[in-house]
Amino acid sequence: MPLTSGKQAFLEILAQEGVSVMFGNPGTTELPLMDGLAREPRIRYVLALQEAVAIAMADGYALASGGLAAVNVHIAPGLGNAMGMLYNARKSGAPMLLTAGQHDQSFTATEPILWAELPPVAEPFVKWSTEVRRLEDLPRIVRRATKTALAHPTGPVFLSLPVDVLNAERDVDLLASTRVAPRIVGDHQAIDRAAALLAKAEQPLLVAGDAVAHGDALGEIVELAELVGCPVVTECVSSTCSFPFTHPQYAGPMPRLGPQIRALLMSHDLLFSVGGDLFTLSLPDDVDPMPPGLRIVHLDVNPWELGKNYPAAVAIHGEPKATLPELSEALRRHTTTHGHAEAPKRREAARAAHERMRAELTERAQREARQIPMSSLSLVQAIAASVPDDVTIIDESISSGHGLRQLLRCADPKSFFGLRGGGIGWGLPAALGVKLALPRRPVIALVGDGSAMYTSQGLWTAAREGLGVVYVIFNNASYRILKQRTLALKGFSAEDDRYVGMDLDRPPIDWVGLARSLGVPGEHVEKAGEVPAALTRGLRSGGPYLIDVRIDPSFT
């Protein structure tokens, strides 16, 4: 058999594993890989100007495609630059194969420039981290890495690829791929116990987590919710449309602060979480979010989450799409073929609350519509009212996105992606990965100005690749969320009305000029009534487009 080089073997395995796009920023230790890509037409290389951009693009691509994302960075400094976005990818569960070039192994004893042991650097934020030491081991390690990234709970893996391994030539067996079947069905006895508790509960609440959207189980969770008739909230740090925002039983997102969560839960006697976090909080508080006596039923693909913070009366290790139909059937056995006897009355109450929630937000937004600078809510309402039905929204509006999930018409698992880990700078590049994965859908990214400045280099990649993403910059010229939380401390800043290191107004950032310098056209918008036409121009442009919207900077 002909000899195969390490770079050829690696790229051939990636192609066999379904990889058609690789994100990255190369350096000297990646030159063998880049040389191999010159003769690999099956894999499109998307160049980022900084490693954080590459990782966030891969994160968005993995979440939107449901497949493996490949991303390559440059040795120790490049991997260091990637870590903030790698944290986000770990939290979002993005199946990602992250690789970094390493010096020739015959050279590393001298500790050359840029060298470091790479696997320990990545290890805290990945499922598995190792270095390939020999070409003979490369196929086995790469196959193991892809299998691990795609198995529940999905997430990133890391491989260090020394130059000598990529340049070596051997007669090697590339092996075959392995996929762990994803549709894990929960234990039948546990499912029956959960159904019995749902049947007995007088005021149940359903929490929909990202695992629902990742598993394409919106239909299954809607069926269960309608059989029970209860309100449904999305989890504290929700990054997907895990329950249709338009459904009459949708009650909005779970709050992120302990007292607010407790106030919500006090009116319920059973909490059933389907892949939802219990709870990922924003700040500590003396008030525990969980009221005493509230029973918990928890279903999740990740057993670590079950009973992690609060004991579950029933804990089910299972995947929502495979397990929820079993639970719905069990609930029918414990109630009626049409579900709980109180379900119609509960559904009507939930519908009324849903309509009231949307009407109140819309009315307030319309009252504020003539305000200049416009309020963030009036901007959100203008966007929600004018985007196409098949739009995919990328959300990193942070503290300015109030009302977004309540007013948008997102109703399928590919319609909404938000920042999961909390490391800002994700949204601008993640939108590019989403667009690559979903080229036929219009993609609109809503990004705060502070967040966008972390990864503004991504605009260049958008222009280079001709990716039709419309960016709406929520421009309040500040780190607004930090001002809000500093104000809550009731300390010196609150007394003196002075917030150190939280303003972005001296000098102001010219977002349209910045975008234009990187190849992206754009415009400024000042009034809520101008937003729909600007969005239309952006979508019709066929390429990337930026809309800079100055919003009210107040934070009290």
Residue intervals in the chain for CATH 3.40.50.970: 4-170, 368-550
- Residue type at 153 in one-letter notation: P
State the pLDDT at residue 555. Answer: 82
Dist. CA 93–CA 90, nearest whole Å: 5
Among candidates 426, 529, 360, 375, which has minimal Cα distance to 53? Answer: 426
What's 254's DSSP letter?
P
pLDDT tens string, the chain, 556 residues long: the values are: 579 999 999 999 999 999 999 999 999 999 999 999 999 999 999 999 999 999 999 999 999 999 999 999 999 999 999 999 999 999 999 999 999 999 999 999 999 999 999 999 999 999 999 999 999 999 999 999 999 999 999 999 999 999 999 999 999 999 999 999 999 999 999 999 999 999 999 999 999 999 999 999 999 999 999 999 999 999 998 899 999 999 999 999 999 899 999 999 999 999 999 999 999 988 888 999 999 999 999 999 999 999 999 999 999 999 999 999 999 999 999 999 999 999 999 999 999 999 999 999 999 999 998 889 999 999 999 999 999 999 999 999 998 999 999 999 999 999 999 999 999 999 999 999 999 999 999 999 999 999 999 999 999 999 999 999 999 999 998 888 898 889 888 999 989 999 999 999 999 999 999 999 999 999 999 999 999 999 999 999 999 999 999 999 888 7
Q: Any residues with CB less than 8 A from the CB of 554 and at least 6 apart, and which?
A: none
pLDDT digits (tens, 9 = 90+) for 149-208: 999 999 999 999 999 999 999 999 999 999 999 999 999 999 999 999 999 999 999 999
| Cβ atoms < 10 Å from Cβ of 473 | 30
Instruction: Let me know: does 399 contact 481? Beta carbons within 8 Å.
Output: yes
| 82 Ramachandran zone, left/alpha/beta (phi>0; psi -120 to 50) | alpha
Q: List, in sequence order, the alpha helices (H) in 303-386.
A: 320-334, 343-367, 376-386
Q: What pTM did the predictor assign?
A: 0.96
Strand partners, 5: 169
Could you list the beta-strand ranges (E) of 53-102: 69-73, 96-102
Burial 157-193 (b: 16+ CB within 10 A, else e): bbbbbbbbbbbbeeebebeeeeeeebebebbeebbbb
Q: Domain 368-550: give its CATH superfamily.
A: Thiamin diphosphate (ThDP)-binding fold, Pyr/PP domains (3.40.50.970)
Tell me the torsion sign for CA atoms 393, 394, 395, 397: negative
Q: Compute φ and ψ for 473, nearest 5 degrees.
A: -90, 115
Burial category of 302 from C-beta neighbours within 10 Å (exposed 0-12, middle 13-18, buried 19 and up): middle
CATH number for region 188-351: 3.40.50.1220
Pairing of the two strands 4-5 and 169-170:
antiparallel
State the pLDDT at residue 380. Answer: 96
Residue intervals in the chain for CATH 3.40.50.1220: 188-351
Could you list the beta-strand ranges (E) of 443-544: 443-448, 469-475, 522-525
What are 376's two structure tokens?
């963030």
Residue entry with tokens 């924003």:
282
Q: Domain 4-170: give its CATH superfamily.
A: Thiamin diphosphate (ThDP)-binding fold, Pyr/PP domains (3.40.50.970)
Dist. CA 38–CA 56, nearest whole Å: 24
State the pLDDT at residue 282. Answer: 83
Dist. CA 156–CA 68, nearest whole Å: 9
Dist. CA 194–CA 190, nearest whole Å: 6
State the pLDDT at residue 369. Answer: 87
Dist. CA 245–CA 63, nearest whole Å: 19
How far is CA 527 from each of CA 254, 337, 378, 407, 552, rounded to the nearest angstrom?
30, 52, 9, 19, 11
